[in-house]
Amino acid sequence: MQQQVLISDLNIPKEPPPEYEFMADPPSISALDLDIVKLTAQFVARDGRQFLTNLMQREQRNYQFDFLRPQHSLFNYFTKLVEQYTKVLIPPANIKEKLKEDIHDPHKVLDRVKYRVEWVKHQEKEKQKLEDEREKERVAFASVDWHDFVVVETVEFKDDETGNLPPPVTQEQLGARILAQERYEKDAGPTEEDFNMDVEMEVDETNKDNQSKVCIHIK
């Protein structure tokens, strides 16, 4: 059992795997707008930044090219496409060496795939654990009886009197305090005074009913 725990701890990924180089989720736009973004990214990757600058000046009043502005929501997607097309049209110098290494040693590819799978599983497990904790807290919060309370003391303030009182708490904060108090009382358990109680028993036998009467006095 201990060996299984150690092996499981070793398989937990410490850092996220590298992002996919040629993957970008398309936004929810029309097919025409998506084609314009992709085609523009291809021309920018082929002709360079000078083409992008000239295009921005020429189409600055055309709403279909608003994605060229950095504050636009599609600008990051457009930039990602430019980077991907650039790697395809102008591949890095060491790309052939990396491909040869993967061909001669396919186990490295399998190790990278395995690491990515373990990372995804670990993230899903952590997400599920967080959701379970939130659900448990929500159920415990819903189980609090908000109508079960008593008035301990009534404090009256005069109109010209200012009291140094803490700010009022919200319902969520009050519920969290009640749950914390219940957990504290549950974990505290019985004290030494509970075990040091003197119990005296007096047995009175009566002949009338032929029964034994037991009286327990707790001090």
Q: What is the pLDDT of residue 208?
A: 43
Q: Which residue has the higher pLDDT, 25 or 55?
A: 55
Question: What pLDDT digit, counting tens, does each position of 166-180 carry?
Answer: 777 777 777 777 777
Q: Under CATH, what is the fold of the domain 31-90?
A: Arc Repressor Mutant, subunit A (1.10.10)
| Alpha-carbon span 193 to 159, nearest angstrom | 46
Q: Which residue has the higher pLDDT, 8 or 42?
A: 42
Mean pLDDT lowest among 16-30, 131-145, 203-217: 203-217
Phi/psi of residue 218, each to 5°? -110, 125
Question: What pLDDT digit, counting tens, does each position of 36-75 carry?
Answer: 999 999 999 999 889 999 999 898 889 889 999 989 989 9
Q: Which two tokens stand for residue 76?
A: 């990051």
Question: Over 80: is that where the pLDDT of 123 sits?
Answer: yes
Question: Over 50: is that where the pLDDT of 7 sits?
Answer: no
Question: Over 90: is that where the pLDDT of 204 sits?
Answer: no
On average, the pLDDT of the chain sits at: 77
